[in-house]
Amino acid sequence: MIKTFETPPPFASQWFDPLPPPALSSGTSCRLHGRFHELAPHLVPMDYTNEPDIRLPLTLIVTMPELKENPFRNRIVEVFSEDGQGNLSFNDFVDMFSALCETAPRELKAIYAFKIYDFNGDNFLCKEDLEKTLNRLTKGELTPEEVRLVCSKAIEEADLDGDSKLSFSDFENMISKAPDFLSTFHIRI
C-alpha cells in the first residue's frame, strides 16, 4: 500500500514561460520590420504608432527563405504565436528571431527548443513527439522499426526521473552536454 503525494503539478507556467527574448539592436529591428513588411506589403504598415494588430498567418511566414526548408518551420512559428496557430504579430516575429539569434542565452534557446519539439504541447517530450521529430529530421530515410528503436533508446538515455518521457530538466541536462547546440540552434537573418 503506497501512501502517495498528489501528483506533482504540471509545470508552473510562470516558471516555464520565459521572459521575452533580449532586445535586438535597432538596425536589426529595422531589418526585421522590412522583412515582415515584405511578406505582406499591403497589410503591414510602415509605422506602428497606433499598434495595429496585424497578424500574418503561418502559411505566409513559412515562405521566408530562412524557414522554407526547415523541417520544423511550422512548429517554430506556432510556438512563437500567441494563439498557438501560427499567426504572428510583429512582436512575435521579432521575438522569434531574437530567440533564434546568435546572442540569445542558452537557457532561452533550450526552453524554446523544448517547446518546438513538444508537438502535443503537454510540456513533456513523449514517444510520439520524438517520433514526429525524427520523421521530420530524416524524412523517411529510416524504417518505422528503426524510428521506434531510436526513440526508445533516446528516451532511455535522457530520461533521468524514470517516467519514460522527457521533462524539461531532462532535456536541458542533455542539451548541456552538446556544445554545438548554441551554434546549430541559430537562424541567421
Rounded CA gap, 176 and 154, in Å?
15
Report 42-61 residues binding another protein (CB under 8 A).
42-43, 45-50, 52-55, 57, 59-60
How many residues sit in the footprint of another protein (CB under 8 A)? 95
Asked whether the beta carbons of 127 and 165 are under 8 A apart, the reply is yes
Residues 92-131, one symbol each (x = binds another protein by CB under 8 A, - = not), give --------x------------x---x------------x-
CA 89 to chain centre: 16
Q: Give me the half-sphere count of Cα atoms (radius 13 Å) on the Cβ side of residue 62.
A: 18
Residue entry with cell 517530450: 125
Q: Exactly one of 85, 91, 103, 120 binds another protein (CB under 8 A); which one?
A: 85
Q: Are 46 and 74 in contact (CB under 8 A)?
A: no
Say whether residue 134 binds another protein (CB under 8 A). yes
Please say which residue, 20 or 34, places its beta carbon nearer to another protein: 34
Residue 167 is a binding residue for another protein (CB under 8 A) = yes
Contacting residue, 79, 88, 133, 144, with another protein by CB under 8 A: 133
With contacts defined by CB under 8 A, name the span among 17-25, 40-48, 91-99 that binds another protein: 40-48
Q: What is the residue type of 118?
A: D
CA 56 vs. chain centroid, Å, equals 18
